């Protein structure tokens, strides 16, 4: 998950204290509120809970499966008939780093057979 940026830097972010945490780098108060409701936990007042591996994994899988981050879902890009790892990046956060993420995904796919 990586270590979050230093506290001084975090405090300058416009979405502080709801900066990126967890496997998907969950950001913005409305996303913390959404997952507070879904999980029945107070992530708004305890945003560091998102870094718990079990919660981070749930948020990653749920958000990608149901389109909770951008309304786009994993099924929109990956199915038995079609695989578009580059565009699938949009599920989380636009196409920034899409090339690198596509390479990671293709390497994983090769390893899995």
* Sequence spans of domains, the chain: 1-69, 71-113
DSSP conformational letter for 76 = G
**Span between the terminal Cα atoms of the chain, in Å:** 26
The pLDDT score that the predictor gives to residue 15 is: 67
The DSSP letter of residue 26 is B
Cα–Cα distances in angstroms (integers) from residue 36 to residues 21, 46, 87, in the given order:
14, 10, 28
Q: How confident is the model at residue 3 (pLDDT cuts 50, 70, 90)?
A: low
Structure pTM?
0.82
The DSSP output letter for 50 is G
- The Cα–Cα gap between 109 and 113 comes to 6
CATH of domain 1-69: 3.30.20.10
3-class DSSP state of 20: coil
pLDDT digits (tens, 9 = 90+) for 81-103: 999 999 999 999 888 899 999 99
Angle between helices 53-66 and 29-39 (to 10 degrees): 100
């Amino acid at each position: 998950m990586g270590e979050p940026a230093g506290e001084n830097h975090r405090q300058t972010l416009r979405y502080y204290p709801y900066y990126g945490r967890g496997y998907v780098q969950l950001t913005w108060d409305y996303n913390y509120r959404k997952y507070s409701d879904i999980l029945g936990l107070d992530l708004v007042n305890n945003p560091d809970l998102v870094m718990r591996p079990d919660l981070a994994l749930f948020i990653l899988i749920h958000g990608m499966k149901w389109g909770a981050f951008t309304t786009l879902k994993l099924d929109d890009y990956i199915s038995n008939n079609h695989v578009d790892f580059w565009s699938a990046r949009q599920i989380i956060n636009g196409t920034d780093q899409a090339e690198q993420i596509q390479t990671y995904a293709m390497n994983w796919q090769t390893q899995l057979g």
